Amino acid sequence: MSAERIATDVPARADIVVIGGGPAGLAAATEAARRGAAVVLLDEQPALGGQVYRAVEANRARGKTLDADYAEGGRLVDAFRASGALAIHEASVWLVEPDGTVGFSRAGAATLMKAERVIVATGAVERAMPIPGWTLPGVMTVGAAQILLKTAGLVPQGRVWIAGSGPLLRLYAVQALAAGGQLAGIIDTTPPGNRRAALRHMGGAMGALGELRKGLAWTQAIRQAGVPWITGAHDLRAEADDDGALGTISFTADGARRSEPADTLLLHNGVVPNVQITRALDIEHDWNQTQRAFRPRCDAWGSTSVPAVMIAGDGAGIVGAAASAIAGRLAALESLRALGRLDQAARDDAAAPLRRALARALAIRPFLDALFAPSPEYLVPAGETIVCRCEEVTASALRQAVSLGCLGPNQLKSFTRCGMGPCQGRICGLTVAEVIASARGASVADVGYYRLRFPIKPLTLGELAAVHAPADPTAPR
Amino acid sequence: MSAAGYDAIVIGGGLHGLSVALHLARRRKRVIVLERRYAGRHSSGINAGGVRRLGRDIREIALSVIAMEMWHSIESLVGDDCGFVAGGQVKVAESDADMAKLARREAEVRALGYDHEELVDQAELRRIVPAIAEHCVGALVSRTDGAADPYRTTTAFRRAAVAAGAEIREDDGVTGLERANDLWQVTCASGTIEAPAVVNCAGAWATRIAAMVGETIPCGVKASMMIVTERMPTFVEPTVGATSRSLSFKQTAAGTVVIGGGHQGRCDVAAERSVVDFGNLAHAARIATELFPVMRGVRIVRTWCGIEARTADEIPFIGPSAVAPGLFHSFGYSGHGFQLAPAAGAALAGLIATGSTNLPIAPFGVTRTSAAAVR
Amino acid sequence: MFARPHSDTPHLTITVDGQPVGAREGDSVAAALLAAGVVAMRSTPVSQSKRGPYCMMGVCFDCLMIIDGVPSRQACMVSVRDGMRIERQRGPRPLEVDTEDSP
């Protein structure tokens, strides 16, 4: 099949359902479909590519390729389209059952689909950067601004500040400037000691010289554009104007407090695995102290404690787009083996070159993890800074709950309503764990994370009611 | 030797255990609560918070009526209003057959000398619950029933118990129970403690505690699910149920709606885990949207599922062990024990402190059901 | 603020609280509003404080709006259509909805 089938009638069954249309999901679906499996890819966005390759086809059609890395997304999408896999767009997955049943909503209607295998490729989300005033309209993430650039061609204009740390911050600045945008300045919160720590991993990173050069080129491009770059900034705050939107930012740099007018503040504090599905499935998660995030426990193929469910890409721990695509293919190969479509020897033969490529793609990771290790100041917010944006629960309220005997995130919900709003703890989960850990003097690993339950998306009661129910549903089991 | 010198050891830090501890401490008894996880971990901290006499099993009404009086002055008992609002409880009739059933029930309850249940017609139902579906023809209401905030209630009982002198030890599960020299030796993670009396308030795990002394009490478990919606403006005051279908529908102070009604999830008691069953949850959503059509477009923000004990006849065990002197049971509330907690705790405290109680717990003896009857 | 220096996609018109706003095909509602200088898209049910899009990828639920009569839709996840009616969601979502769920 040469063209993507248009999903009007959604099949009730599939060999493999892939959740997420980013590099891991595209590559997993392509690999499995090429080898003959019936594959359905569910994605929440209107077009393939995930966040990293967001709107890649539309931009390619307009001759806007951004850069070589982004163009790679176009090749992944082309391969997917040639593979025979079916893509269902604007599908919000709200349920994954251990037996491979996947529930999703599309255009206000809920559907259940049964798969033999589910490959979760839901990628990463930006780590929260809770500062005073971060809930004001006008304060967004760098990732959000990049999505505006990729999907709508919007560039920053006027008093737009970028603050935080991480590769995406630099990449976006370069892309925005190249597209004709203006930036008022970059407030770099990377702890100065990180550089030294990162140098220890320089040896490993030499295998990825291209990546290192790219980073240096980004930095140079930003400096050449004359964008002020403020390092070692502390105590960043966003303050409201008379309308209740962002009006000013302030921070301390070089020992002096500075205040600057701002109409947009873009924050970035690195990315962390999106664990909503794996947590709700009760898969064990481990704390990664280097990346300061939980990641679901899985083996080198992406297999988890739930036999029908595999994980690929950043959702299993941050590895970046190139490694995610390889991980997607590995998960597909193991899925095919589990389905009896591929014997073990064939799986291993196909995997051998992928594993070598994966090692190359991961060479720079320890260096990046060390260089962009988040500043403790923005992991554990102080005072009246809001932690839970939905329920407007402050850091001090969390600390008070801990002083009253609250030991972990789940108790905290009952104490404070923290994490009980529409985002279902997506934004505040890690911050809550960090704040409790710091207040208790415990490790984040011991404090743990929210217990999440399906549905992981806020479908309507009407949608749920329309899902098939058994004959005698109130009978005890 | 009882180093700490306890008069009673309560096993289980749920609302019932905390209530027993509070009442014992108020009687100047030295009491400790042993909780394996944290107080309110299971169904006490997460339930619909219904404070209801309406529709109770006839055998429960006397205790429930006394408990309701305590709820109406709950602040004087525990120093906090527990979020209790007497918004009423309503059981809706969806058909003439339902209405006839409710009329018989009203008559039965009145014949027993209680007047809290009142049959109302369609016009009055609409006045009380304007958003109710048009097909509903009337209701049985209990106007001074209501609902409270479960975790706030559990926390208030805990604080009041501690203030009265009770000790609460969390993260300390009981692994052994033995009687020697008229004293119970309770072995838990942190060591062994002794007291002449032990109260088993271990909920879904209570039969395991009983089994430690060789007492077999037939009892199952349940894992009732709840749906919580996004916040909305206040549109329904009372807690609403149905006559022929399972529903509990309540809007909280925050504006969210909590939908339950005993729809079952799946639970693994040994692992202390429960999961939502989506077929059953969909059924709950269907009932809720049929009774409240305005809810069809409302979004689900959370679901949860709490594990607790369920007896064969769906009323609790409250009273002394049939085999072991000095051991008392309080479990098996089968999904509607929240309201009874203040009174059940008082009854057990009386029983332990004085050997008897005036409170009506006679129907709740542990030997009334047989193993064969357990569902 | 954001600007759109070049665009070759068709122009559409949507309304925000009754006021017409230009948009381009392919925009999400949130992107179209940001391009038009509309940043505050709702107020919270907790404190009535104003909010706008934060993540633009469906994670934060801070861009909830009433779109064609349906409350609590994520403006960053809905593509614009010509004539779409957008309203700011003020405080808790309204109970009554006027389309889609009431055929």
What is the enclosing helix (H) or strand (E) of B105?
helix B96-111
Q: Residue A6's CB: how many other CB atoms inside 10 A? A: 10
Instruction: Kindly give, in sequence order, each residue whose CB lies less than 8 Å from that of residue B113, ignoring residues fewer than 6 positions away.
Output: none
Q: Residue B245's CB: how many other CB atoms inside 10 A? A: 18
Instruction: Kindly give, in sequence order, each residue whose CB lies less than 8 Å from that of residue B182, ignoring residues fewer than 6 positions away.
Output: B196, B326
Task: Return per-residue pLDDT of chain A as tens, 477 residues.
Answer: 333 344 457 899 999 999 999 999 999 999 999 999 999 999 999 999 999 999 999 999 988 878 889 999 999 999 999 999 999 999 999 999 999 999 999 989 999 999 999 999 999 999 999 999 999 999 999 999 999 999 999 999 999 999 999 999 999 999 999 999 999 999 999 998 898 999 888 887 777 788 888 888 999 999 999 999 999 889 999 999 999 999 999 999 999 999 999 999 999 999 999 999 999 999 999 999 999 999 999 999 999 999 999 999 999 999 999 999 999 999 999 999 999 999 999 999 999 999 999 999 999 999 999 999 999 999 999 999 999 999 999 999 999 999 988 889 998 988 899 999 999 999 999 999 999 999 999 999 999 999 999 999 999 999 999 986 444 444 433
What is the enclosing helix (H) or strand (E) of A352?
helix A344-362
Structure tokens at B206: 């209570």
What is residue A15's predicted lDDT score, i.e. its pLDDT? 98
C94–B298: do the CB atoms touch at under 8 Å?
no
C50–A423: do the CB atoms touch at under 8 Å?
no
C-alpha torsion sign, points A135, C36, A164, A56: positive
What is residue A475's predicted lDDT score, i.e. its pLDDT? 40
Q: For chain B, what is the mean pLDDT?
A: 94
- Residue A93, helix vs strand vs coil: strand
What is residue B48's predicted lDDT score, i.e. its pLDDT? 86
DSSP classification of residue B296: T
Whether the link from the prior residue into A455 is cis, omega within 30° of 0, is yes
Rg of chain C over Cα atoms, rounded to whole angstroms, equals 13
Is the pLDDT reported for residue B79 higher than 70? yes
C50–A244: do the CB atoms touch at under 8 Å?
yes
Q: pLDDT tens for residues C58-88? A: 999 999 999 999 999 999 999 999 999 999 9
Structure tokens at B226: 């709840």
B300–A103: do the CB atoms touch at under 8 Å?
no
Question: CA-based angle A270:A272:A275, to the nearest 5?
Answer: 160
Average pLDDT estimate for B117-121: 98
Average pLDDT estimate for B50-56: 97
At A107, the amino acid letter reads A
Q: For chain C, what is the mean pLDDT?
A: 91
Give buried/exposed letters for A386-399 (b at 16+ CB in 10 A, else e): bbbbbbbbbbebbb
* Residues 149 through 188 of chain B touching chain A, CB cutoff 8 Å: 151, 155, 170
Mutate to test the interface with C, among B252, B298, B301 (most CBs of C within 10 A): B298
Neighbouring chains of B at 3+ CB pairs under 8 Å are A, C
Give me the total of CB pairs closer than 8 Å, taking one residue from chain A and one from chain C: 137
ipTM of the complex: 0.94
At A256, the amino acid letter reads A
C31–A154: do the CB atoms touch at under 8 Å?
yes
Mutate to test the interface with C, among A43, A53, A54, A154 (most CBs of C within 10 A): A154
A457 to chain B, minimum CA–CA distance in Å?
8
What is residue B5's predicted lDDT score, i.e. its pLDDT? 86
What is residue A210's predicted lDDT score, i.e. its pLDDT? 82
C-alpha distances (whole Å) from A315 to each of A141, A197, A309 are: 19, 25, 13
List CB contacts (< 8 A) between B38 and chain A: 407, 411
Question: CA-based angle A146:A148:A154, to the nearest 5?
Answer: 110
Neighbouring chains of A at 3+ CB pairs under 8 Å are B, C
What is residue B203's predicted lDDT score, i.e. its pLDDT? 95
| Phi, psi of A271, deg, nearest 5 | -125, 155
Chain C contact for A64, CB < 8 A?
A: no
Q: Residue A192's CB: how many other CB atoms inside 10 A? A: 10
Q: pLDDT tens for residues B269-324? A: 988 889 999 999 999 999 999 999 999 999 999 998 889 999 999 999 999 999 99
Q: Give the Cα separation of B89 and B250 in Å (integer).
A: 9
Mutate to test the interface with B, among A99, A406, A464 (most CBs of B within 10 A): A464
Instruction: Kindly give, in sequence order, each residue whose CB lies less than 8 Å from that of residue B293, ignoring residues fewer than 6 positions away.
Output: B133
B305–A453: do the CB atoms touch at under 8 Å?
yes
What is residue C97's predicted lDDT score, i.e. its pLDDT? 54
List CB contacts (< 8 A) between C4 and chain A: 152-155
What is residue B132's predicted lDDT score, i.e. its pLDDT? 98
At B2, the amino acid letter reads S
Q: Are A311 and A302 in contact (CB under 8 A)?
A: yes
Which residue spans of chain B are classified as CATH 3.50.50.60?
A: 8-49+151-218+312-367
Neighbouring chains of C at 3+ CB pairs under 8 Å are A, B
Q: Give the Cα separation of A372 and A366 in Å (integer).
A: 10
Structure tokens at A397: 């309220």
Q: Which CATH architecture has domain B8-49+151-218+312-367?
A: 3-Layer(bba) Sandwich (3.50)
Q: Which CATH architecture has domain B89-139+224-305?
A: 2-Layer Sandwich (3.30)
The HSE-up count of residue A309 (CA atoms within 13 Å, CB side) is 28
DSSP classification of residue C79: B
Please, what are the domains in chain C? Answer: 11-90 (3.10.20.440)
Q: Are B261 and B192 in contact (CB under 8 A)?
A: no
C72–B233: do the CB atoms touch at under 8 Å?
no
**Chain B interface, Cβ < 8 Å to C:** 131, 230-233, 235, 255, 294, 296-299
What is residue C103's predicted lDDT score, i.e. its pLDDT? 34
B302–A470: do the CB atoms touch at under 8 Å?
no
What is residue B42's predicted lDDT score, i.e. its pLDDT? 86
User: Of the candidates A319, A321, A296, which has an alpha carbon nearest to the alpha carbon of residue A309?
Assistant: A296
Chain A contact for B289, CB < 8 A?
A: yes
Chain B contact for C97, CB < 8 A?
A: yes
